[in-house]
Chains A and B, each alone.
Chain A
Amino acid sequence: MWAYVMKRVLLMIPTVLGAAVIIFCLLRLMPGDVCELKVGADGGNYDLQQIEICRADLGLNDPTIVQFGKFVLGIATFDFGNSMWTGRPITYEMGLRFELSLQVAIMATLVALIISIPLGTLSAVYQNTWIDYVVRMVSIAGIAIPSFWLGILIILALLNISEALTGTRWTPPIEYVPLWEDPWYNLQMLIWPAVATGYRYSSVATRMTRSSLLEVLREDYVRTARAKGLKEKLIINRHALGNALLPVVTIIGIEFAFLMGGLVVTEQVFNLNGLGKLLVQSVTFNDYSMTQAIVMVIVLVFVLTNFVVDILYAWLDPRIRYS
Chain B
Amino acid sequence: MRTKLWKFALGAVAAAAMSTGAIAQEPKSGGILTFVVASEAPSYDGHVETTFGVIHPIAPFYSLLIRVNPENPSDPTDLQCDVCESWEVSADGLTYTYKIPDGIVFHDGTPLTAADVAATYNKIVFPPEGIASSYKDFYVMVNSVTAPDAHTVVFQLDYPSGAYLPAMANPFNFIYSKKDLDEHGYTWHKANINGTGPFMFKSMDPGASVEGVKNPNYHHKGRPYLDGFKAIIATKMSARVQAIEGDRASIEFRGFPPKQRDDLVAALGDKITVQESDWNCVLIVTPNHRRAPMNDVRVRRALSLAIDRWGGSEYLSKIAIVKTVGGIVYPNHPLAATEEELVQIAGYGKDLDANRAESRRLLEESGIDLSKTYIFNNRGVDQPYQVVGTWLVDQWKQVGLNFEQQVNPSPVFYDILRKTHEHDVSIDFNCQSVINPIADVSFFIPGGGSNHSGVEDQGMIDMYNELSKAGTLEEQRKLMRAYEKRVLDETASQFITLWWYKINPYRSYVKGWSIAPSHYLAQQLDQIWLDQ
Contacts and interface: CB of A to CB of B under 8 A. Distances in A.
A14 interface: no
B236 to A, nearest CB: 4
A60 to B, nearest CB: 13
A45 to B, nearest CB: 5
21 contacts: A31-B411, A31-B420, A38-B50, A40-B414, A40-B450, A41-B50, A43-B432, A47-B137, A50-B134, A54-B132, A85-B40, A93-B206, A93-B207, A169-B245, A171-B242, A171-B248, A174-B239, A175-B209, A273-B205, A273-B207, A281-B40
Interface of B: 36, 40-43, 48-52, 130-134, 137, 190-191, 205-209, 232-236, 238-239, 242-243, 245-249, 267-268, 281, 409-412, 414-416, 418-420, 429-432, 442-443, 449-450, 452
Nearest to A33: B411
Contact of B450 (A46, A92, A169, A269): A46
A36 B442 contact: no
**Residue of B208, B268, B432, B450 contacting most chain A CB atoms (<10 Å):** B208
A196 interface: no
A87 interface: yes
A110 B472 CA distance: 72
A269 B239 contact: yes
A286 B413 CA distance: 12
B411 A53 contact: no
A42 to B, nearest CB: 4
Contacts of A43: 50, 281, 429-432
Given A32-B411, A47-B134, A53-B132, A87 B50 contact: no
A39 B452 CA distance: 15
Contact of B232 (A155, A175, A281): A175
A169 B42 CA distance: 34
B206 A88 contact: yes
Contacts of A37: 410-411, 414
B409 A284 contact: yes
**Residue of B205, B246, B249, B450 contacting most chain A CB atoms (<10 Å):** B246
Contact of B235 (A40, A85, A173, A281): A281
Contacts of B42: 38, 85-87
Contacts of A38: 42, 49-50
Given A36-B411, A46-B449, A159-B246, A268 B235 contact: yes
Contacts of B205: 96, 273
A45 B48 CA distance: 12
A269 B236 contact: yes
B207 A31 contact: no
Given A87-B43, A171-B248, A273-B208, A268 B50 contact: no
Interface string A166-199: 0011111111100000000000000000000000
Nearest to A158: B246
B243 A171 contact: yes
A38 B190 CA distance: 13
A96 to B, nearest CB: 6
B239 A271 contact: yes
Interface string A38-74: 1111111111101001101100000000000000000
A42 B431 contact: yes
A38 B54 CA distance: 12
Given A47-B134, A176-B208, A169 B239 contact: no
B519 to A, nearest CB: 10
Contacts of B50: 38-44
Contacts of B131: 53
A97 B410 CA distance: 25
Nearest to A270: B239
**Residue of B42, B247, B432 contacting most chain A CB atoms (<10 Å):** B42
A126 B40 CA distance: 53
Contact of A48 (B51, B235, B249, B449): B449
A281 B206 CA distance: 12
Contacts of A159: 242, 245-246, 267
A56 B130 contact: yes
Given A32-B411, A171-B245, A271 B134 contact: no
Report, nearest first, the 6 A-B pairs whose CB atoms are least far apart: A43-B431, A171-B246, A32-B411, A31-B415, A44-B50, A268-B236
B134 A45 contact: yes
Given A86-B40, A174-B232, A284 B410 contact: yes
Nearest to B236: A268
A277 interface: yes
A204 interface: no
Interface in A263-289: 268-271, 273, 277-278, 281, 284, 286
A96 B51 CA distance: 24
Nearest to B271: A169
A30 interface: yes
A212 B206 CA distance: 44
Nearest to B43: A87
Contact of A39 (B134, B233, B235, B442): B134
**Residue of A57, A171, A277 contacting most chain B CB atoms (<10 Å):** A171
